[in-house]
Structure 1
Amino acid sequence: MFRHFLDRITRRQLVIGGIILGILAFGSLIAFAVAYYKREALLAATITRVQAAMNRDHQIDLAIGKAYFSGLTTVTFEDVSATPHDRNQLARVDDVAISVKLFPLITGDVKFGRVRARNVRIQLMKKDSISNYDFLFKAPDTVASENSQPAENINMAQAANRMLNSVLYKIPENMELRNFLLTYRDDSIQQRIIIPEADINNGNLTSAVFLNDSKAAWQVSGKLNPNRRQLYIRVHANGDKVALPLLEQKFGLQLSFDTVEARLREVYWANNEFLHIKGEWAVKNLNINHWRIAQTDVAVPDAHAEGEIIIGGNHVELSDKSTVTVKNLEVHPYIRYTTTPDKTYAFSLETPEMEAQDLFDSFPKGLFESLEGIRVSGKIQYKLSAFLDTERPDSVQFDSEMIQKDFKVNAWGNAKVQKINTTFVYTPFENGKPVRDIVVGPENPAFVPLAEISPNLKNAILTTEDPSFFSHNGFVEEAIRSSIAINYKEKAFKRGGSTISMQLVKNAFLNRNKTMVRKLEEILIVWLMESTRAVSKERMLEVYLNIIEWGHNVYGIGEAARYYFSKHPSQLTVGESIYLASIVPRPKTGLYSFNHEGRLKPYMTPYFNYIGNIMARRGLVQADSSGSYGFYTVSLREALRPARPATIDTLQLEVPPTDFEVELNQVRGLLDRIFRNDQQEEENP
């Protein structure tokens, strides 16, 4: 075919083509000669431009003692230093030689071919709140041009591709680094990292890293192929642990591992629209200790993650084909963030069907102390999905499902869930310290069996704390949706989605250390207790009402009824029950609701009206046309009433100790959603 094409070309066409190629070659030669002749001037102009940009955008003085071409494409710099304005010197290099590849320069890309650097010193210093590296966390002081795009119009895929290229193109194929020193010093901490030599030979990386004058030695190796967008790096310590003492001294985080590996496997475009980045990460014998995570060391013997990030014009996502593996546990996470037209967040998590015991065996040792030693049988599979549109947070979606086949608990181990079925000792904590031991059972005179507690109190508590307690399996998805919406709108954690089952487990089975994993441990124990029916709903409610806090050193409904009203729990009225339900979320502020006459302050009336109407609609109390539902009959026992003020300020008497209206709106939002859905289910069976 090619020969046939040549046969069709005439002699005249060949001559014209040859002339054109000759002109182009001659022109290129002249351009090269001019560039070569003026390269020193071009280099000086480039340095001046870079120095001006560093000064203008980052307030850094970049000083270069000498700069010259030491080869056709190699530039050598001597006595280079970078010093932020009014700060200590940040970096200094005795000499560095950089060769640049020619062909990428034609398209405007700068790719390093070979780098040689000697005596590189970087010092990060912070005194009080002033550091010589704070410019890294500030936007450049440049004025946006008229043609600059708004942030929402930026193509995320193209921006990510440019950022990735800017990193990969600066990785040389060959490198010789000698005597590199990195120091960090603040008011209380000083760290030194020394790299005597680091080499890259045709993409093969080898280096030794010494921490704090050889107190620790790490080996770094890898294979770097930036042209194909592939990287592999491995860090280990020749049989010892790799530790990061700076994290421990700075943040109290003890972290160490035997080996960690990271790989950038593939980067490619799909349909010239979506940028795909594939990679993986693995760690051996990871140990973590931080009081916010867990109270003991958390040991992960082997963990591996393999993922794919997909970036489009207006979104970035972690593909659902991504996999995280810990022992025999395999999890497929999915995350998606979209910027336009509205900011949205999507998240899902799924496991394949697996042996139930594999789940518990895969938990890192020290993570869930209460679940150690548990033995189960059967198969399980978990699915979770959530979606939040920031413009419509009340429409948040949340679904969670644990699929079980022949699941049962053969041995509870440390969990000891069944202890709740008999008399046991409960120890409440306050500010991390035990208050007193409380016997939960008939041996305690303050203990009240469920049958002897007023239905008014039980119904009020169930309405406000967990309306579907007797029908759910430990979790109420609508409550979780509502808490997500409230917390997002408030931009803070204002309300959780805890059920009575979850509150019971938190109080009766878990320590009071507020760690990140305690909530997950609580969820797992609730699932085990509810799914196996290890404890009846009636017993759960009975124990719950007998251990929760109702005031300062007031625990259980037996103590609460006598403390506030000098009554037995069986005698509580509708108004007294609604009041007691109102203080469960904030028990230590309960007495602020009363005036000197022992009557409730007026700000409580909307709460009584709202909760009372819900109870009436559910047939739990008789409807009250006045909407007061016993509000005016509640009377605090005389010994607890505040002193009569010398001058009665009626406005002061009405002011709640907290923003009760906000709290009422949160309760209203949650219950409206729950009862609206219940009503819809009844209308559409």
Structure 2
Amino acid sequence: MKKSTKKKIYISLGSFFGLLILALIAVFIFRDQLLHKAIDKVSDKIAEDYDAKFSIKEARFTAFSSIEMKDILLVPNHADTLFSVKSLNTEVNFWKLFTGDLQLGRLVVKDGFIQLVKNAQGKNFESFLHPKKDAEAVEEESTNERKNYAKLGYRILNRALNLIPTNMQLENIALRMDDMGRKVTMKMDKLDLSDKRLQTTIDVSTNTFSQQWKISGFADPRDKKTDLHFYSTDSAGIKVPYVDERYNLKSGFDSIRLKVDDIDYSGGEMKIDGYSSIANLRVNHPKIASKDVVIENAQFDYHFLFGADFMRVDSSSVAVLNKIKFNPYAEYNVEEDTIYKLKVDIPKMQAQDFITSLPKGLFTHFEGMEATGAFDYKLDFAYNKNKPNKTVFNSTLNKDNLKIVKYGEADLAKLNGSFTYRAIENGRRLRPILVNPVNIYYTPLDQISPYLKRAVLTTEDPSFYQHRGFIPDAFRQSIVQNIKTKRFARGASTISMQLIKNVFLTREKTLSRKLEEILMVYIMENNHIVSKNRMYEVYLNIIEWGPNVYGIGEASLFYFLKHPSELNLNESLFLASIIPKPKGFMWQFDGEATLKPYIVKRNSYLKNTMMRRGWLTSNDTTAQTKKVVLYGAARAYVKKEDEKIINVDTLNVDEFDF
């Protein structure tokens, strides 16, 4: 290389470094002015986008990269203060600023609070949930492709972790919340994070309780790892605030462990691996169960995966619920359609371990139950939001010498013998019904009109004699409908399920009761505890058929002054049709106690359905042409012209006899 060329290179490099040094000197000399200009820019941005005032009374550099601020305020216009700090000292990673990342190395904050308020005037954080967007941002958003969940998630996590300093001291800091008078205050006298060890005590107070929480453990925001332990000095454990007042949900736990082992982004995907556990989780809500539900030990060794168009809990994850250990898989995918997937794989385990692992308070009828043998279980569920009729719901249980040797509170075998049934209405047990031939109204199955038996099967459960307690297609349709309406709008109840619900369970609409119903039906049907004929006989003899009318024997007398064996086709169709709402039967009749024309038309449809299934012949329909007319005590309930309906509580079927 020529000397002249080398000289030019040296001169260029010298000029570059000289300019860089001059720039750094200029930044150092004018850094306070630059800091105030940056604060003004942030203040203007917050005022424009969030309709709020952001101010810092004093701000200055105390060293090359150390900043001190005093009296920091964020106050939404016409609302309560959202954020206030008296004193803040921090150290910024100067070199990271050149890459566009703001990374804090040290942070000391004293005397501050974050305050979330919702009252009659509105929310003081509303504008931060829905910021104003300038035209450029709106245009960019409209032209952008769908969100890349991996990139977005990693960017948010990375920025959040960069704002957590490696060395942090917080003194007299509080989080306050006031939701229409439901108040929560969480105050830290001191939080210390140094040498990757975090320690703090939080005083929690609400309208309903006060207690102290402890948090301790390992935290390394730069390496994206943490292992924290949450617990309480209170013997009752940690109580979850706010939700008890807001949602009537009382919950708490003894301790929680949250561990993150790895957060990584590569190949266009982000993965998060870690572990979490909770001890003695307690939940109490009227929609869940009538008492506390307790999970003694739950653990989750998780592996989350985020791609450009999906979020997934990988099947390599392991969940533990007491002695139940399984591999869950869950996915939200928008690659083509919006699809939700859930898979559960429980490898072979002892049946008794499963029973003892069920959450206490959720399956009260199974307490004391004993079983031998083992089983494994698989669930495969997939829901396509755009093609709901293609919903997948496959549930498979493989048994290995599985046998119930001792029943709990619900002795399913009692259905085979005599017992007393008492219906429950509005939480009150009604008069006893003896399920025994000694009861003059009790009617054996072979003495009930075949028309009635077939009609009830048609309206309630056509495949009763073929299924084992559940109808898979009905389950799928029920799931689809409930997802569409975002509530439990439709069930998939079979006669087996109705029988269990009536005999063993209360009428309370809780998750506990529904889960118990499903498990009890499965045990009864798959262990052949009760024959199908016996189930159907008991069902027809205990269900409600009208006001204080229980069982087909009482119903035949109440409506038609007949024995159940004498019911004709049209009478049977009528009785089958009122099972869902038996107390409203009177609206189906005119003033002469004869079925209204539109009800006759409906019953004709039921007739045609029964004929298609081979349960009726043309001779049956030809011979059964008589109108349905009430002759029994039910006639008094029918509204006549200018008359009021008789009070349904004034008549009692016991007043009438054959």
- TM-score, length of structure 2 as denominator length: 0.90
Aligned to 2:511, the other structure's residue is in SS state coil
In 1, Cα distance between the equivalents of 2:337 and 2:289? 37
In 1, Cα distance between the equivalents of 2:620 and 2:556? 27
Q: Does 1:177 align with 2:170?
A: yes
Aligned to 1:324, the other structure's residue is in SS state strand
Q: What is the RMSD computed on CA atoms of the aligned residues?
A: 2.8
* Match in the other structure for 1:251: 247
Relative distance call for 1:615 and 1:379 in structure 2 (3 A) is same
Q: Does 1:324 align with 2:319?
A: yes
1:306 pairs, out of 301, 309, 319, with 301
Q: Does 1:89 align with 2:81?
A: yes
Relative distance call for 1:198 and 1:554 in structure 2 (3 A) is same
Which range moves more in the overlay, 601-610 or 401-410?
601-610
2:190 pairs, out of 183, 186, 197, with 197
Aligned to 1:399, the other structure's residue is in SS state strand
The one-letter amino acid of 2:130's match is A
* Match in the other structure for 1:73: 65
In 2, Cα distance between the equivalents of 1:424 and 1:176? 69
2:272 pairs, out of 277, 298, 304, with 277
Identical positions, percent: 34
* Match in the other structure for 2:132: 141
Moved over 6 A (4+): 9-17, 628-632
In 2, Cα distance between the equivalents of 1:288 and 1:588? 36
List per-residue Cα deviations over 1:135-183 (Å, max 9, x = no partner).
45x3223255212147871212212122222321211101010111233
* Match in the other structure for 2:124: 132
* Match in the other structure for 2:654: none
**Aligned pairs for 1:435-454 within 5 A:** 435-454=430-449
How far residue 21 of structure 1 moved from its aligned partner, in angstroms, is: 4.7
Relative distance call for 1:476 and 1:13 in structure 2 (3 A) is farther
In 2, Cα distance between the equivalents of 1:523 and 1:129? 47
User: Mind listing any 5+ residue stretches in structure 2 that lack a counterpart?
Assistant: 644-658
Relative distance call for 1:75 and 1:576 in structure 2 (3 A) is farther
* Match in the other structure for 2:628: 634
The answer to whether the 8 Å contact 2:375/2:398 transfers is yes
The answer to whether the 8 Å contact 1:549/1:555 transfers is yes
* Match in the other structure for 1:111: 103
The one-letter amino acid of 1:392's match is K
In 2, Cα distance between the equivalents of 1:11 and 1:435? 111
1:560 pairs, out of 551, 555, 564, with 555
* Match in the other structure for 1:461: 456
**Aligned pairs for 1:532-681 within 5 A:** 532-604=527-599, 607-623=602-618, 633-637=627-631, 639-640=635-636, 642-645=638-641
List per-residue Cα deviations over 1:469-491 (Å, max 9, x = no partner).
11222111111012123334445
* Match in the other structure for 2:349: 354
How far residue 508 of structure 1 moved from its aligned partner, in angstroms, is: 1.0
In 2, Cα distance between the equivalents of 1:582 and 1:152? 54
Aligned to 1:611, the other structure's residue is in SS state helix
Which range moves more in the overlay, 500-509 or 573-582?
573-582
1:382 pairs, out of 372, 377, 382, with 377
* Match in the other structure for 2:655: none
Aligned to 2:295, the other structure's residue is in SS state strand
User: Mind listing any 5+ residue stretches in structure 1 that lack a counterpart?
Assistant: 1-8, 648-685
* Match in the other structure for 1:267: 263
Q: Does 1:433 align with 2:410?
A: no
* Match in the other structure for 1:27: 19
In 1, Cα distance between the equivalents of 2:180 and 2:260? 38
How far residue 311 of structure 1 moved from its aligned partner, in angstroms, is: 1.6
In 2, Cα distance between the equivalents of 1:520 and 1:639? 40
List per-residue Cα deviations over 1:416-460 (Å, max 9, x = no partner).
111111122222222223233222222322222111111112112
In 2, Cα distance between the equivalents of 1:629 and 1:324? 63
How far residue 128 of structure 1 moved from its aligned partner, in angstroms, is: 4.5
Which range moves more in the overlay, 145-154 or 478-487?
145-154
The answer to whether the 8 Å contact 2:383/2:392 transfers is yes
Aligned to 1:352, the other structure's residue is in SS state strand
Relative distance call for 1:102 and 1:587 in structure 2 (3 A) is farther
Relative distance call for 1:494 and 1:567 in structure 2 (3 A) is farther
The answer to whether the 8 Å contact 1:594/1:641 transfers is no
In 2, Cα distance between the equivalents of 1:99 and 1:267? 25
1:153 pairs, out of 146, 149, 152, with 146
In 1, Cα distance between the equivalents of 2:97 and 2:407? 67
Q: Does 1:163 align with 2:156?
A: yes
In 2, Cα distance between the equivalents of 1:134 and 1:21? 53
How far residue 379 of structure 1 moved from its aligned partner, in angstroms, is: 0.8
In 1, Cα distance between the equivalents of 2:598 and 2:303? 54
* Match in the other structure for 1:369: 364
In 2, Cα distance between the equivalents of 1:511 and 1:540? 19
- TM-score, length of structure 1 as denominator length: 0.86
Aligned to 2:177, the other structure's residue is in SS state strand
2:113 pairs, out of 115, 121, 126, with 121
Relative distance call for 1:635 and 1:55 in structure 2 (3 A) is farther
The answer to whether the 8 Å contact 1:205/1:223 transfers is yes
In 2, Cα distance between the equivalents of 1:382 and 1:231? 34
* Match in the other structure for 1:51: 43
In 1, Cα distance between the equivalents of 2:368 and 2:615? 43
Relative distance call for 1:554 and 1:85 in structure 2 (3 A) is farther
Which range moves more in the overlay, 41-50 or 638-647?
638-647
Which range moves more in the overlay, 94-103 or 208-217?
208-217
The answer to whether the 8 Å contact 1:600/1:632 transfers is no
How far residue 215 of structure 1 moved from its aligned partner, in angstroms, is: 4.6
How far residue 301 of structure 1 moved from its aligned partner, in angstroms, is: 2.0
Relative distance call for 1:516 and 1:18 in structure 2 (3 A) is farther
Aligned to 2:347, the other structure's residue is in SS state coil
The answer to whether the 8 Å contact 1:547/1:555 transfers is yes
Aligned to 1:92, the other structure's residue is in SS state strand
**Aligned pairs for 1:404-423 within 5 A:** 404-423=399-418
In 2, Cα distance between the equivalents of 1:554 and 1:166? 68
The answer to whether the 8 Å contact 2:252/2:282 transfers is yes
